[in-house]
């Protein structure tokens, strides 16, 4: 058993692809036309960190209920933890891209950590080696 993909509700496919691929360095695994449950056109967009198996489905919000969760998919808690080998390199890349930093880097027993917001406003932990 393994976790294959998780869904992240976004307001715009291309904006989200830009963030995950060009800012965080994820791979764009798939971007294919699809149909919603109601038969409306949509896209099946999957990104994932290079060399990993688990991906994120970038699902464009469809309707007011889904738009209401943009940036609050975990109720304001950190729901995503991005483990990196080179903390400084990734941190500098996201700062250079003007990604909002919620908590500056600090040392914790499990490594260096900072909290940033993705393009929708969801908080993420950036975690590197101690």
Q: Could you read off the pLDDT of 72-106 as tens digits, one per residue?
A: 999 989 999 999 999 999 999 999 999 999 999 99
**Domains 1-70 and 71-130 fall in the same CATH topology:** yes
What's the confidence (pLDDT) of residue 37?
Answer: 78
Domain layout of the chain by residue ranges: 1-70, 71-130
Token pair for residue 124?
């993420």
Taking the whole predicted model, whether its pTM rises above 0.85 is answered as yes
CA 20 to chain centre: 6
Architecture per CATH, domain 1-70, reads as Roll (3.10)
Element holding 94 (H helix, E strand): helix 87-96
Question: What is the percentage of the chain residues whose pLDDT exceeds 90?
Answer: 93
Q: Report residue 34's pLDDT band, with 50, 70 and 90 as the boundaries.
A: very high
**Residue pair 93/51 in contact by the 8 Å Cβ criterion:** no
Note the CATH number of domain 71-130.
3.10.180.10
């Amino acid at each position: 058993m393994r976790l294959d993909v998780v869904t992240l509700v976004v307001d715009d496919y291309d904006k989200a692809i830009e963030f995950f691929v060009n800012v965080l360095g994820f791979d764009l695994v798939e971007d294919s036309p699809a149909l919603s449950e109601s038969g409306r056109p949509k896209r099946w967009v999957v990104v994932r960190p290079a060399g990993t198996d688990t991906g994120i489905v970038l699902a464009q919000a469809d309707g007011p209920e889904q738009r209401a969760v943009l940036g609050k998919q975990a109720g304001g808690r950190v729901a995503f933890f991005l483990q990196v080998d080179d903390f400084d390199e990734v941190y500098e890349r996201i700062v250079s891209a003007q990604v909002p930093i919620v908590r500056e880097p600090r040392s914790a027993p499990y490594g260096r950590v900072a909290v940033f917001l993705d393009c929708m406003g969801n908080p993420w932990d950036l975690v590197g080696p101690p």
